[in-house]
Structure 1
Amino acid sequence: MNSALYAILGHEFDNPELLQEALTHRSASHGRDNGYERLEFLGDRVLGLCVADMLMQAFPDEPEGALSRRLNALVRQETLAEVAEGLGFQDYIYVGKAEDDSGARANPAILSDICEAVIAALYKDGGLEVARAFITKYWRDRLEKSSRPPKDAKSSLQEWAMARKLPLPEYEVVDKTGPDHAPVFTIEVSVRGREPARAQGEAKRNAEQKAAELLLERLLKEAKS
């Protein structure tokens, strides 16, 4: 395994196969399980634990709701993909030729999954403190960047509806296109009595956020006119 990658991760693996598994997309797994997917499952939990602990220490007076919004922003796909791309993980991914030709290395969903799988590999090879050191190094600045907890578009749209005593917004998948490794979802969000909005994203959650943002922006403009 490349020593440059060990330097990026801050850990030299006793079991390099763990890291290789974390970097292997199912298209290159040659029938061995599902590549990084099981590690991704574990890495998601390790990341959530470490970031939640960091938030508890950094914002000791904030209520649970505010901490949850901060956590969601720090562990969402966009943040993970940004970290992975910034560290150059795309250069180390094992991926099938067809997927490579179609741009899988630049796919935010794949980069996000790889990042979680690498965190799991660090945890399994070196323990929680090794994984925590990696997470602290690359998430601390993001955690400290905002003095106020973020409010995502879905939450804001829900609050808008509740303030007007309307039912909660409803989200529906109206289309799914693209290959399995890079799906594109079209989501429609509606609030009773208002024209719905649609948006696309490489994950349902992302598409929902974009649709909510579009609808909320339109509703706020209508209120001002």
Structure 2
Amino acid sequence: MGEKVNRIENVEKRLNVCFKDKDLIEIALTHSSYANGRKNIKFNERLEFLGDSVLQLCISEYLFLMYKNKPEGELTKKRALIVCENSLYEIARKWNIGEYIKMSRGEELTGGRERTSILADCVEAIIAAVHVDCGYEKARKFIIDNFKSVIQKAMENKIVLDYKTKLQEIVQKNGDVSIEYVLIKYDGPPHRRRFYTEVCIDKNVLGSGMGYSKKESEQNAAHNALNKLDSKVRDRV
């Protein structure tokens, strides 16, 4: 019991929210895999359903009020970037929420605590828990406070959904260059294999990345390369 209390208290500190109904945040932090084979265990999928709608409404309202000169089409595109899985994943990492999620041992061993979809879904469930426990106004403030940097990045076109495509667009802007993703090594047990990839531009290594699939490691390598290119541009300013 004490361990549960400490866990919830730590989560509340990270979120800066004190829940009246502690069961709500407990459910928000419970993945469906943990409920398998256990009786009377509630998991976060219903909260996730609600949280998605609350998030969409709050972000839509904020964009509508703050960007009065932006047309509907542009606001729709910006909202999609703000509430996308990658953005929710970044929020989850900021909270370090992965370490607090209840999941099955098998899910954990296959990288569940770092899986983008699980962390993104948990963020939506937490938003719903705040909404149900504290009401819409507090949920709206909670969302805006935590998503401000994401909103700013979206409005400045700095959110990228596909880092490989973005890297290709940038490096080939002034002519055709070769882009190659090279798998350097992999390690770890079969159920949680880690892949390490380097991205080479005209045979020069520009970035590297690790992931739990080849595709993820390539995206992370491209992301790393984009960050390095961005740093070089800033250094010249």
Superposition RMSD on alpha carbons, in Å? 2.7
Tell me the distance in 2 between the aligned counterparts of 1:151 and 1:10. Answer: 28
Residues 175-221 of structure 1 deviation map (CA, whole Å, 9 limit, x = unaligned)? xxxxxxxxxxxxxxxxxxxxxxxxxxx9xxxx9xx9xxxxxxxxxxx
Tell me the distance in 1 between the aligned counterparts of 2:68 and 2:125. Answer: 30
Per the alignment, do residues 98 and 141 of structure 1 end up closer, same or farther by CA in structure 2, a change over 3 Å counting?
Answer: same
Choose which of 5, 8, 21 in structure 1 pairs with 2:11: 5
* Structure 2 runs not aligned, ≥5 long: 163-211, 220-237
For 1:209-220, list aligned pairs within 5 A.
none
Tell me the distance in 2 between the aligned counterparts of 1:147 and 1:22. Answer: 29
- The higher-RCO structure (CA 8 Å, 6+ apart) is 1
Choose which of 102, 107, 110 in structure 1 pairs with 2:110: 102
Q: Report % sequence identity.
A: 32
Tell me the distance in 2 between the aligned counterparts of 1:131 and 1:75. Answer: 15
Tell me the distance in 2 between the aligned counterparts of 1:95 and 1:151. Answer: 29
Q: Which moved more, 1:125-134 or 1:138-147?
A: 138-147
Question: Is 1:145 the equivalent of 2:153?
Answer: yes
- Secondary structure at the residue paired with 1:110? helix
Per the alignment, do residues 148 and 141 of structure 1 end up closer, same or farther by CA in structure 2, a change over 3 Å counting?
Answer: closer
Q: TM-score, normalising length from structure 1?
A: 0.64
Residues 100-120 of structure 1 deviation map (CA, whole Å, 9 limit, x = unaligned)? 111111100000000000000
Which contiguous aligned blocks of 4+ residues in structure 1 show a shift greater than 6 angstroms?
150-153
**Would you say how many aligned residue pairs link Structure 1 and Structure 2?**
159
Question: Is 1:69 the equivalent of 2:110?
Answer: no
- Compute the displacement of 1:58 (Å): 2.1
Q: Hey, what does 1:217 align to over in structure 2?
A: none
- Compute the displacement of 1:33 (Å): 6.7
Q: Contact conserved, 2:30 with 2:101, CA < 8 A, in 1?
A: yes
* Structure 1 runs not aligned, ≥5 long: 154-201, 211-225
Question: Is 1:14 the equivalent of 2:20?
Answer: yes
Q: Contact conserved, 2:29 with 2:102, CA < 8 A, in 1?
A: yes
